Copies of this chain bind each other. A is one copy, B any other.
Amino acid sequence: MLKVNDNYKKLPGSYLFSTIGKKVGAYAKENPDKEIIRLGIGDVTQPIAGAIIEAMHQAVDEMGQAETFHGYAPDLGYEFLRNAIVEHDYKARGCDISADEIFVSDGAKSDSANIQELFAKDSRIAVCDPVYPVYVDSNVMAGRAGTYDEKTGMWSNLIYMPCVMENDFVPEFPGETPDVIYLCLPNNPTGTTIPKAKLQEWVDYANRNGALIIYDGAYEAYISREDVAHSIYECDGARTCAIELKSFSKNAGFTGVRLGYAVVPKELMFDNISLHHMWARRHGTKYNGAPYIIQRAGEAVYSPAGKAQLKEQVAYYMRNAKVIYEGLKEAGYTVFGGVDAPYIWLKTPGKMTSWEFFDFLLEKANVVGTPGAGFGPSGEGYFRLTAFGSYENTRAALARIQAL
């Protein structure tokens, strides 16, 4: 009789955004007249930029002709895309990354969920708290997180690095030495980040302790401050301790297009085995690459026209971030983030829990956000709003919140 992977049984409830989706769906069904504004899941709303649309049309046409048809893609992704990534995301910033260290994927969610397959089962994992749930849940499913304590909301085998108001949302070196450290900077969900000098300290810490950093740079395009690193490879020594995950979802609106990449430097050796070799093996065995059409779309992100159009798109969302940040401040909220990231993180008012504030906002203002507690115990008492709505909706949402 088949026995299942019973780590799944340990997972409480459903995936955070599935839960929110169901709650909002139920509310919408009961209140068909209410116009709900969604600033919750972090899905973008602006259409794909013209240069990218054009590239996709061309790629579609190529697929329709025998001479230009493309079947299975190369294991790591097409060279045209990997070369563009290296040129614009790394060489232009003085980072030493080569095209065969880039692994093109269908997005940073998949990569950040799959990367833990490379670790031994008893690896000690450190996560920021609050944190993007995928890092935790994927380790739970693999049996690496231990057991869940309903009371504290914590997993027995995870190392938590609280990021709260009191420490300016900057993770501190944990008391216990971890094997793997997940860092998402600029941060989801808090919208805050750390200066490059601080990131360098993390790189040094990892190298000193033989730890691996999984560096999620999905929000890199939103960095506005000069002293913030756009890639962890701007730090000395990162090639021997860090894997970087990148996404096209937020800089180019690819949430429904699906494209991302992982950088696995060849120096990354642990346990006498190359993580680059392991990840290549995983890619070759379990995955068949992103669609040709989508990889061409990714290439167009780096074309002069694409870059100009996307600069405007990012600016559009950052104007929303400002509207939210300032609107909440005016309404008397305590607010963080929104300067180097498309997320605004606020203290829930009074003694409301973050799920209470979720219900309150949904019912009273018909605005959907994300409860901080959904991202971990230290997220309790906080709430996330995203800048990815339309400008009109964002202004309308803030007007409603201010009127509460």
Contact = CB atoms under 8 A, between A and B. Distances in A.
Interface stretch (A27-35, A115-123, A182-190): A115-123
Contacts of A141: 117, 282, 285-286
Contacts of A291: 256-258, 291, 294
A293 B259 CA distance: 13
A119 B256 contact: no
B53 A69 contact: no
Contacts of A69: 45-48, 253, 256
Interface stretch (A56-64, A329-337, A373-381): A56-64
How many copies of this chain are found per oligomer? 2
B288 A106 contact: yes
Interface residues of A, number: 84
A71 B255 contact: yes
Q: Which of A17, A60, A282 counts the most chain B CB atoms within 10 A?
A: A60
A224 interface: no
A9 interface: yes
A18 to B, nearest CB: 5
B281 A11 contact: yes
A211 interface: yes
B47 A66 contact: yes
B287 A109 contact: yes
Which 10 interchain pairs have the tightest Cβ spacing? A1-B210, A113-B286, A3-B120, A43-B71, A15-B284, A53-B64, A2-B179, A71-B255, A70-B256, A47-B69
